[in-house]
A and B are shown apart, each in its own frame.
Chain A
Amino acid sequence: MAFAFEFFLRRLSQGVVIVVLVAFVIFTLLRVVPGDPIRIILGPMTPASVLEETARALGLRDPILVQFGRFMGEVATGDLGRSFIRGLQGGSAGGSQDVAGYSPESRASVAGLIATALPYSLQLAGLGVAFALLVAFPIGIAAGLRAGRWPDRLGLYASSFFVSLPNIWVAVVLIFLLSAKAGLLPAIGYQGFAYTIIPAMVLAIELSPVMIRAISVAVAANLGEAYYDAGIVRGLSRRTMVARHVLRNAAVPLLNLFGAQMIGMLLGGLFVVEYIFSYPGIGMLTISAVFQRDFPVIQAVAILASGVLVAINMLVDFASTMIDRRLKF
């Protein structure tokens, strides 16, 4: 199909540009902030001559553009570099172990670190989104169908309530109530699927208000469209109109929301929640990388995150244009 081909060609090329730009911004940012990475790699005890020599050998004294070019070349071949800090076993190698010099081979590969952490994050994100949808769909649709009546108010209250709960606080409260007091579920770390449940609930509480609002607005807006009333006067039942037409049309703004806003929120929420619960996913990996100034990990995660966002936005836009043929791309 010519349309799909052109669409993906166009969007993929734009997407690559965006990801490279994001990578460049993050890459530059990490190199202009105070703090010399070579000190982080080798530790504070290393003599200055060794520092300088290793930095030169690693190419850290080259202009940023040259470094970036080299980095992107490696990324293109699938090599995301090696951690400054983490050893092959995954633990922090710390600077002082190899004062004499630095061999990149002794450090864990970033791709490997991400590959280990990713499944945990996906599991948490999946469960969180599932919980959120479970809450948001019934409330959102009911609120949209009965605008101005009690389900609508319920939707307003529920979304205003959930969105007012800071995720860090909800996390602490749930740990306190469900784990510490009631002992129903484990909370900190990860030793099995049960450890995902409370973090997923926190994520769901963060995501569901946005979903409830978006769903109710989209459904209510479509009930106000001329085709809805016209359909009923044409002899179609309310149920048919809602199930076949209103929900279909409402899907377009919802898909866009899920693409543009929700994935960003989900990623952000994931980082915070994983940090609070010491959950061994990408977020935990990144936040500890920030505190340890483990730049290769940070930039790899940033590139990955923007790549995922770009890909999901592309798919969402494609789905939208397939549903509503009037949309341009």
Chain B
Amino acid sequence: MTISTVGSGMTPSPAPAPGRPRGVTARILRRAWGYGEMKAAAFLFVALALLTVLGPLVIDASATKISVADKFLPPLFMEGGRLPHVLGTDQLGRDLLLRSLVGLRNAFAIGLTSVVGMFVLGCAIGIYAGYRGGWVDVLLMRLTDVQMSIPVIILAITILGVSRPNPASIIAVLVLASWPVYARVSRGVALAERQKEYVRAARIIGASDLRIMVRHIAPSILPPIAFVAVLDVARMMIFEAIFGFIGIGIQPPTPTFGTIISAGTQYLINAWWITIVPGVLLALALGSLNLMGGVLERARNYILQGGA
């Protein structure tokens, strides 16, 4: 709905009203921060992040040292639990809280790195395809079709399953499997931006294609796609867990959620907490990321649809 009173004032004013939020990204963030959910999720996320850093320093136990005497200890809130094992121990007597925290840190590192990788790769290809158009565009977009039509899991188990998985190869697989999403979105944005007058204006003053792509189109990519990146960090963390579960993730003894959950399934009846409790921690971390992503998406939709 357009209102004739908004944004069409013809009287020149000396300067924009003070206190007015400026760029689109800033306005989206401001709007998002207005949600209570955003604050709660951010708080949870920061708390968990601090915990992964401080936990190993404070807790007097080891994530990897086997201690048969302490095996199958339940969490503190259950009968039989005892310190320092707040969340109990696993089948080899290792502290579950510490294992979870280290796992969380590794998962987050892999998730963040891979999202940065796919974001940069995807956006570069997408902007180029959308801006150049023509056969370059057709070719690159068909390439994303090809890429997208190989499910992530098939690609991952094919590559990781037959070679020796390590963090770098896991990140590579995730980037390889997910860049097309970014390529498509940024290609759409580039295509739309290319039609806009300011790009035409930049061409008229003689700006080169590279300059237009880097200086003008790239900054427009962030607002529509930032929330996807936030959600994808969580998605990549889930993939990391799945890889570990299947046995194609980071290899033991380094703790990951996948291997913790996978190992725990054998003791589900007698020591369910080995599987369930670390999962809750992971779900909390993912939940905070996803809630932030969801709120960012709403804020983005609101701002891009003309809200102030």
User: Does A pair with B?
Assistant: yes
A293 adjacent to B151 (CB under 8 Å): no
Q: In the complex, A153 Cα to B275 Cα: how many Å?
A: 30
B296 shortest CB reach to chain A, Å = 11
Q: In the complex, A73 Cα to B297 Cα: how many Å?
A: 48
Question: Which of A161, A268, A272 touches B287 (beta carbons < 8 Å)?
Answer: A161
A272 adjacent to B154 (CB under 8 Å): no
A268 adjacent to B153 (CB under 8 Å): yes
A172 adjacent to B265 (CB under 8 Å): yes
Q: In the complex, A251 Cα to B212 Cα: how many Å?
A: 35
B261 adjacent to A172 (CB under 8 Å): yes
Chain A residues near B286 (CB-CB < 8 A): 163-166
Give chain A interface residues in 260-293, CB to chain B under 8 Å: 260, 264, 267-268, 271-272, 275-276, 286-287, 290-291, 293
Kindly specify which of A28-36, A52-60, A126-134 makes contact with the partner chain. Answer: A28-36
Chain A residues near B265 (CB-CB < 8 A): 172, 175
B276 adjacent to A172 (CB under 8 Å): yes
A99 shortest CB reach to chain B, Å = 24
What per-residue 1/0 map shows which CB atoms of B118-162 lie under 8 Å from chain A? Answer: 000000000000000000000000100110111111100111011
Question: Which of B153, B235, B238, B245 touches A267 (beta carbons < 8 Å)?
Answer: B153
Question: Which of B275, B291, B294, B297 touches A172 (beta carbons < 8 Å)?
Answer: B275
| B282 on the A face (CB < 8 A) | yes
Question: Which residue of chain B has the shortest Cβ distance to A312 in the bound complex?
Answer: B149
Chain A residues near B159 (CB-CB < 8 A): 29, 33
Chain A residues near B238 (CB-CB < 8 A): 166-167
| B26 on the A face (CB < 8 A) | no
Majority secondary structure, A binding face? helix
* Contact surface of A with B, Cβ cutoff 8 Å: 14, 17-19, 21-22, 25-26, 29-30, 33-35, 153, 156, 159-161, 163-169, 172-173, 175-176, 180, 209, 213, 217, 220-221, 224, 226, 229, 260, 264, 267-268, 271-272, 275-276, 286-287, 290-291, 293, 298, 301-302, 305-306, 309-310, 313
A/B interface sample: 9 pairs, CB < 8 A: A156-B298, A159-B290, A165-B286, A168-B241, A172-B268, A176-B276, A217-B297, A271-B151, A290-B158
Q: In the complex, A259 Cα to B159 Cα: how many Å?
A: 25
Chain B residues near A167 (CB-CB < 8 A): 238, 242
| B37 on the A face (CB < 8 A) | yes
Question: Which of B154, B290, B291 touches A305 (beta carbons < 8 Å)?
Answer: B154
A169 adjacent to B261 (CB under 8 Å): yes
* Contact surface of B with A, Cβ cutoff 8 Å: 1, 37, 142, 145-146, 148-154, 157-159, 161-163, 231, 234-235, 238, 241-242, 245-246, 257-258, 261-262, 264-265, 268-269, 272, 275-276, 279, 282-284, 286-287, 289-291, 293-295, 297-298, 301, 305
B158 adjacent to A30 (CB under 8 Å): yes
Q: In the complex, A286 Cα to B162 Cα: how many Å?
A: 13
Chain B residues near A33 (CB-CB < 8 A): 159, 162-163
A26 adjacent to B1 (CB under 8 Å): no
Q: In the complex, A14 Cα to B149 Cα: how many Å?
A: 13
B151 adjacent to A169 (CB under 8 Å): no
Q: In the complex, A137 Cα to B301 Cα: how many Å?
A: 20
Chain A residues near B245 (CB-CB < 8 A): 168, 272, 276
Question: Which residue of chain B has the shortest Cβ distance to A225 in the bound complex?
Answer: B1
CB-CB under 8 A for A26 and B151, given A164-B286, A167-B242, A180-B269: no
A21 adjacent to B146 (CB under 8 Å): yes
Q: In the complex, A172 Cα to B162 Cα: how many Å?
A: 26
Chain B residues near A271 (CB-CB < 8 A): 151, 153-154, 157
A71 shortest CB reach to chain B, Å = 16
Q: In the complex, A260 Cα to B152 Cα: how many Å?
A: 13
Question: Which of A34, A166, A221, A260 touches B163 (beta carbons < 8 Å)?
Answer: A34
Chain A residues near B153 (CB-CB < 8 A): 267-268, 271-272
Question: Which residue of chain A has the shortest Cβ distance to B293 in the bound complex?
Answer: A160
Question: Which residue of chain B has the shortest Cβ distance to A286 in the bound complex?
Answer: B154
B294 adjacent to A173 (CB under 8 Å): no
Question: Which of A172, A268, A310 touches B279 (beta carbons < 8 Å)?
Answer: A172
Question: Which of B148, B154, B158, B287 touches A160 (beta carbons < 8 Å)?
Answer: B287
Q: In the complex, A22 Cα to B143 Cα: how many Å?
A: 10
Q: In the complex, A291 Cα to B286 Cα: how many Å?
A: 30
Chain A residues near B276 (CB-CB < 8 A): 169, 172-173, 176
Question: Which residue of chain B has the shortest Cβ distance to A224 in the bound complex?
Answer: B305
Chain A residues near B148 (CB-CB < 8 A): 260, 264, 309
Q: In the complex, A283 Cα to B150 Cα: how many Å?
A: 14
Q: In the complex, A29 Cα to B1 Cα: how many Å?
A: 53
A166 adjacent to B150 (CB under 8 Å): no
A264 adjacent to B279 (CB under 8 Å): no
Query: Known pairs A168-B242, A169-B276. 13 more at Cβ < 8 A?
Result: A33-B163, A156-B294, A156-B295, A160-B291, A172-B261, A175-B265, A175-B268, A213-B297, A221-B301, A260-B148, A271-B153, A290-B161, A301-B154
